[in-house]
Structures are given as structure tokens and as C-alpha cells.
Amino acid sequence: MEVNEQTAIDHGLSKDEFKKINDLLKRKPNLTELAIFSAMWNEHCSYKSSRKHLKNLHTEGSQVIQGPGENAGVVDIGDDEAIVFKIESHNHPSFIEPYQGAATGVGGIMRDVFTMGARPIANLNSIHFGSTQNKKTKNLLRGVVKGIGGYGNCIGVPTIAGQTHFDESYNGNILVNAMTLGLVNKNKIFYSKAAGLNKPVIYVGSKTGRDGIHGASMASAVFDDKIEEKKPTVQVGDPFTEKLLLEACLELMKEDSIISIQDMGAAGLTSSSVEMASKGKLGIELDLSKVPCRETEMTPYEIMLSESQERMLIILENGKEDKAKEIFDKWNLDFAVIGKTTNTKNLELIFKNKKVAQIPIDFLAENAPMYDRKWKKSKLPQKIDYPKEIFKSLKLENCLIKILSNPNVCDKKWIWEQYDHTVMGDTIQKPGGDSGVVRVHGTNKAVAACVDSSAIYCFAHPLTGGKQVVSESWRNLISVGAKPIAITNCLNFGNPEKEKNMGEFVECVNGISEAAKYLNFPVVSGNVSFYNETKDKGIKPTPSIGGIGLIEDYKNMITMKLKKEDNIILVIGKTEGYLDQSIFSRTILLEKKGPPPEVNLFNEKNNGETILKLISKKLILSCHDVSVGGILTAVSKMCIKGKKGVKINPQINFLNKFSYFFAEDQGRYIIEIEKKNLDSVKKLLKENSVHFDEFGVVTKEKLQFKDELNISIVDLSKKYKSWLENYMAN
């Protein structure tokens, strides 16, 4: 096949990029070489539109062992132990084929973690779907949830937390972001950097097939009417093989024979070989005739671009091949020596004794395009002036029920009950809380993890939204008694060639970085997903933040469920009554304009650290952060979880009850304390200059406020729990 400008365009390259390839090579590439360039230069692998701005992220911290640039981030949790973690997108494949797209997303992120020597201990996810009125939403949700559960459950890793959001902007592009945590000895971490000359390059795992070819390129393109034609680009996963691969790799890692290791994810053998060689400033020679293939007559083009799952590339010490083969044979996995490291600094491909490609590694990595795209700064919208008359016809109880039964607030048990969250026996806080929590096996330590996004706020003002989503992660960890350590991010945006979209990305990144730096909550890994767009309509900017924190003694873990009658409820943090962009404003008042709530990072840090002090002194019995839906929604969830009521203080000071109860001011928590400890708690709060309201008292069975709110927790629970179940049953 003749390679020309049109061929390059068909492979997702621009005219200028094709010219650059010709200039670099000083010749036309052949078809296999062009395919390799297309794989390595697409957004998914090269980060050509985002690299410039990702450098601005705050990535340093005292507990950071490995920041961005490796398969996953690594943080120190003491006692020579470390947590390896990352979140990554599998958006486009999941929209095309929801079960396999979601399943292979889970499989891929787990390989990123165990390729570094860590045993996966927990999975999380952040999933976004279109309007509940959209005819595709229900089936997409069902397929994605089944895929996540099907893969994670089979491999035996608990899914401990997650987040689900519905919005019409995802009608044409759903988001499936998967996150994994793994545990590793900090002195036995494995990296992808190649080293040494004439070292054997080893292929292990499943055979290579024709599934997933052009998967990375597809993930870097917008959708159109021909979306169904892209199904062959979706990978097919096998969790049982992944389990075997996991155990075989961890066994080999004990042998002191691995120089470097890399999973074959996006762009398959191409990206794994190039990245390993590039990091080590070496060349690599591969004999593609030796690659185990499950289909006949596969070409070099197909072998290099295949994204068949459950495969690894390993560089071994010389003389260790037989022992390694013995291990992989035992686990019934393919093992083949397919190449060697060289001093040429080239990627050289041999097939049937003929050289079929030769490309300098730097051309694929260092010299990959990096664009400084034009971007448009977002203006902070004007605040909405709500006339007093708008509240007169509203009834407090009706508003609360409507919010609790909203798809973005309601109980997501229908989703998480399909996931195995107790396998491995160390899950001590299951989905449905502020964060999932797993005990570090054999110790008193526990790791908390959560995942959050903030599309509504980011769409209104990306800089503020970026700060908010990091702060939300911070609060969710603190609410279970964990000291926040670090975050991973999955940045989901539309077409970066559009100034508005690019501006949303840049400002979100800046907001994330500002909050991460102030809170000492560094970004250690992540992923960028652009081109989430169909027929010129893109998603709302959706950065997903995965946060982890440490609980030194798991017995000090906090839950949100109310514990005992006559205990005192306090609201921690000042409530200004900020309604703009709140779910109350959007669903009750039908007002979608205005700026998001302000983020005061000093208050976030001060309030959060004070909560941790109270927990350390065993003064807090339950805790829940105030987020979507405001104070009354947060308290309602605590009531439902604990099967207790709350009598709200009738003397509580507010100008407007709706603004007070439903505002989404940031930096706030609801805490439950014993009456006998009230003075001690007040004293510590005042010493730390933390505002608080004496909100109410825990009661037996009702949520009450004057004569305006008097609802049983049983009825409240039904409203909260029934919406999603009913939706998926019809």
C-alpha cells in the first residue's frame, strides 16, 4: 500500500505531522512505520496538547516516592510499605461496547499497578452517563457496571468506592474512569526504564490478536455517525488470564531478574517497547515472527498495533530466561524471547528475516509533537440575585425529597452491590460512605480512597472547579479519619483544538495545582482524555480526582452513620448561603447560571486539620462532608445510614432557611459528638478559629425542624433508595 498524505490522515495524523515524519526520516515511512508514528503521536500516548500544561501540576511531597511519568504513582505509608495508585480513562471504548470497554479499563489500570511490583488491594471508579431521559443511558449504565464488576470480581480485587453522575453533555460520550490501589514494599518497586545492552526482551501473557487495533488512535478522535464501525477497535478482556499474569509477574519479581517491565496498554507492543527504550536512552530490536499470535497471517502492522489484553513486556538479566519461562509455563501463559536491547537508539523490527521498520526512538518520543494550543480564559459569571418571592411557594420537605431522589444524589446501591467489595477480607468501609477503606493486611494501618469529579462547577468556572474537586477529595478522606497523602487525576475534556475547550483544560489544571500545593496533596499520576465529543458537541469539563489517605490505626476510622440518641450535631465551617450552581438552584429553582461556590483554601486546610485533631482525641463519633445538596442533604444521609433522626435547633441563625439548608458552600463538615464532650469540642474549634453551628440533636426516628419538616427516617430512606432501583427496573 502506498503511503501518502491521505494515508496519514486516515491514521489520525495531520498534514503537518506527516511532513514532519518525512523530514525526520528523510524519506517516506512504510505503512508499518506510519502506523507506529500514528500510535505514538496521538493524544493518548504523546499528550501533545497537554504536556506543556501538565508540567504546572504540583507533584512534590514528603511521602512521594514516584510522581508522574511512570506506570503509576507511589507514596510512602511507613514501615517500608508503599501504595501504588493511578486512575485512567476508557471512555471511547466503553461508549462503543460498554461491557468490554469498562472491563478492559479495569484490567488495564490493574496492570499499571502490578507492573510496578504491587499487589492490587482495591479498585474504584468514576462513571458518567447522559441524561436519564436519553434512550441509550440505561443500557450503557447496565453494560458498564456489569463490565466493571465482571472483571474486578473475577480477578479477586474489591471495589471499595466510586462515583456516578448523569448529565446530558455525556449523551454522546460517556466517561469510564478506573482507579486501582496496590501495596508494595518500597524497596522492591519495579520501573519501566530499560538498562543494559543485549538484554533479552521477553513477551509474556496472552497471545496477540486483531482486537484493539487503532484503539489508542480511536481514543484520540471525535465520534461521528460511523461510531458502530469502531467496534473492532475495542479490546476484549479475560480476567482469569489477568489473574494468572498477576501471580506469575509477582512470582518472577521475587527472583531478582527483572531489569524493567511494562504492560502492553494503549498502542500495545509499540508503546511498551518505545517507552522502555526511550526512558533508558537505548535502542530495541524485535523479531515479530516470534510474537505469540492467536490468529494466522498477522502482519507486522497488526502485531505492533494490536491492543490485545493481558500482555507484558519484560527486559531480563542475561541467563534468567529459563527460570522466567519455568514460572510462566507453570501459570499456563505464553513466554517468548522476542528481541534485545541495543546501542542503536532505534526501534528495529524484523519479520520473517527481513527488516520491516527502522525508526530512531527519539523521533517517536522526544520529538513527538508538542502543541501550545490557543486557549480562551473563562470569565467568572455574575452571581444570581434570587428574589425573596421565589422561595415563598416552596416547602422544605418537598425540596428535600426532590433532591434526595435526584439521580445525582440518590443511593447508588444498585451499582455497587454488583461489585465484590469484601473479597481479600480487608475492606473495613464499603461503598456508600465518603471514602472506601481497606486495612493494610496484617497491620493496624488502613488506607482510605475516594474518587470525585466536578463537571457542573468546572463548566461554570474551570479554575474554581479545579480547586473544588481537589478540596472535595481532601474532605472525603478526612471524613473517615484519614490524613490525605496524594491524588491521581483523570482529565476528561472535549476537542483541544477548540479554544474554549483548551481553556477549560488549562484553567482546571491550574486550579487543581493550586489546591494540591496549598493542601500539600500532590498529584503523583494521571491521565488525559481529550476528544470526548460527538458531532461537534463535547462533554462538560470533567476532571476526576482519586485521593488516598492513611489511618494509622484502623480502629479510629469514622463513618457517617449516626450512632446514638441525644448526641449533638454540629456544622463545621461557615455557611454563607451560596446557592449558585447548587443542585437546589438547578432542580428546584431551575436556574443554571451563576458562578460555582468560592473555594477558600485556608479554610479548607484549617477546618480539615481541626477535624483530624478532634478525631485523634476521640471526640467525633460520626462525620460527613457537606457537598452536593448542602447541609440538609448531608444530615439526611447520616440519618438514613444510622437509622436515627435529628431534631434541628429552631434557634439556628440564618437569613434564609433554603439558602442555609441547601447551599453548597465549601469547606464544611457535619459531626456527631457526645453532650459531655461539647465544651471540649467548642474549645478546640475556637482555638483553631473554626466556625461552627450547633445544628441539632440526634433523635429516635424523625428528621424535624419546627413545623416545616417532620419526616420519618423510614420514609426518607425510601425516597433516597428507590429512584435508581426503579429506573433500572423499568
Residue with cell 423510614: 714
Residues near 518 by beta carbon (within 8 Å), at least 6 away in sequence: 601, 602, 604, 605
What's the rounded Cα separation, in Å, for the pair 532 and 519? Answer: 30
CB 454 within 8 Å of CB 472: yes
Told to judge if 44 belongs to the known catalytic residues of this protein, a careful annotator would answer yes
Residue of 90, 128, 165, 214 marked catalytic: 90
How many Cα atoms are found within 13 Å in the side-chain-facing hemisphere of 594?
Answer: 19
What's the rounded Cα separation, in Å, for the pair 563 and 569? Answer: 11
What's the rounded Cα separation, in Å, for the pair 627 and 255? Answer: 48
CB neighbour burial string for 379-393, b if at least 16 within 10 angstroms, e if fewer: eeeeebebeeeeeee
Residue with cell 422544605: 396
What's the rounded Cα separation, in Å, for the pair 512 and 463? Answer: 8
Residue with cell 490524613: 483
The helix/strand/coil state of 598 is: coil
Which helix (H) or strand (E) segment holds residue 79: the answer is none
- What does 665-706 look like in DSSP terms, one character per residue? -SS-EEEEE-GGGHHHHHHHHHHTT--EEEEEEEESSEEEET
CA geometry: angle at 315 spanning 309 and 319, to 5°? 125
Alpha carbon dihedral 542, 84, 77, 480, in 10-degree steps, equals 40
Q: Of 675, 310, 620, which Cα lies nearest the Cα of 480?
A: 620
CB 347 within 8 Å of CB 357: yes
Burial of 510 (0-12, 13-18, 19+ CB in 10 A): middle
The one-letter amino acid at 663? A
Residues near 290 by beta carbon (within 8 Å), at least 6 away in sequence: 203, 336, 337, 338, 339
Residues in the chain: 730
The beta strands (E) that lie in 264-302 are given as: 283-287
CA 108 to each of CA 201, 238, 344, 538, 642: distance values in angstroms, whole numbers, following the listed order: 21, 11, 31, 25, 37
> How would you list the strands of the sheet with 702-705, edge to edge?
622-625, 669-673, 568-572, 692-699, 645-648, 702-705, 709-712
CA 71 to each of CA 82, 87, 271, 524: distance values in angstroms, whole numbers, following the listed order: 15, 10, 12, 11
Q: Of 162, 166, 111, which Cα lies nearest the Cα of 138?
A: 166
The set of long-range contacts for 327-332, using a CB threshold of 8 Å and a minimum separation of 24, is: 327/248, 327/251, 327/252, 327/255, 328/204, 328/248, 328/252, 330/248, 331/244, 331/245, 331/247, 331/248, 331/251, 332/244
- What does 85-101 look like in DSSP terms, one character per residue? EEEEE-HHHHHHSHHHH
Bridge partners, residue 68, by sequence: 70
Active site amino acids: 44, 90
